[in-house]
Chain A
Amino acid sequence: MSPEELIEKYSDLAYGLALRLTGNAAEAEDLAEEALIKALRGLPGFRGDSDPGVWVSRIVANCWKNQLRSPRLAFWRRVGGFYSSDGEEQLIDPPDPAPGPELRLEGAARREAFEKVLNSLEPQDRAIVVLRELDGRSYTDIASILSIPEGTVRSRLSRARKKLRELLGGFLEEK
């Protein structure tokens, strides 16, 4: 795989995952760019016997974990109110689970509701949902990318889906 192919094929994947991990477009762009630059540097050493998508996703997840350990970013997150002091639980309110009929008909409102509900999950649960639903990754791949046991992927995905369904109720029934 050439460096150009790497960027063409995996930019969306890296950015999508970064966006769900950080919950913020500006931070996601920084995170995805940092991860893809690392991937470009590591490309000559990439053996190609594993899935490049898993490899790139793992780099994004590792960069994100490193950023979480950064005291500077932790400070700005607290100031921004995105994370609570333990860096895990979010302060965003989920949408009204029973929106009015006019709101339910609007595509933009649907999208906003999905965004808001997804952002109400913990960052790691958001990443699991995105890796499964948008990238179609297996539980084994997700466990490898996020460095967690496969059983944890299964249980957290099931729990996250339950929560999403509860909060999205009206939006899932009507299109």
Chain B
Amino acid sequence: MTHEEIKEALSGYFDGQLGPVQTVEISAHIATCEECRAELDALTALSAGVKENLSVPAPAAMKERLLARARQGKKPLSAPATVLVVAFTAIILFLMAGVAAKKYMPTLFASVQGMINGAASTLGVSGGNK
């Protein structure tokens, strides 16, 4: 590599992101080249300056909002909410079972419907007798 090529590659060398062959070649060059050593010193100063002057923590309010959201996501459902979810699921399943029975098992559906109607009319009669 020429001096100019090495100067161009110094940024990658500084970061330790070059392959072993290039790294060895550049190390040997730097040992004898004052200009490249000065370039490396400048990269070191820039890196330290960026770390010192440009680190910015996240706003505390944003972090708090996100932490609250993270905790909320893990919280189990409260007891009333659990009852509501179970009841809603049961109703949906019952309705779906009714629709499926009517379509695929019309005889069974008709007999169950007859039993329900019979029970209802019985209850209606007994209720009316009181």
**Chain B interface mostly:** helix
Which candidate, A7-15, A47-55, A64-72, A79-87, is the interface stretch facing chain B?
A7-15
Within 8 A of B (CB), among A11-35: 11-12, 14-16, 19, 25, 29, 32-33
**Interface contact A40-B69, CB-CB below 8 Å:** yes
Question: In chain A, what residue has the closest Cβ to B10?
Answer: A158
Query: Using an 8 Å CB-CB cutoff, how does the interface string of A106-138 with B read, 1 for contact, 0 for none?
Result: 000011001100100000000001101110001
Known: A40-B66, A40-B73. A132 touches B15 (CB 8 A): yes
CB distance from A33 to the nearest CB of B (A): 6
Say which size band chain B's interface belongs to: 20 to 34
Q: Are A15 and B46 in contact (CB under 8 A)?
A: no
What is the interface residue range for chain A against chain B?
Answer: 35 or more
Given A161-B43, A172-B42, A12 contacting B49 (CB threshold 8 A): no
- Most chain-B CB neighbours within 10 Å: which of A6, A40, A157, A158? A158
- Which B residues form the contact surface with A (CB < 8 A)? 8, 10-12, 15, 17, 42-43, 45-47, 49-51, 53-59, 62-63, 65-67, 69-71, 73-74
The 5 A-B pairs of least Cβ separation, nearest first, read A3-B70, A15-B58, A158-B11, A114-B53, A11-B58
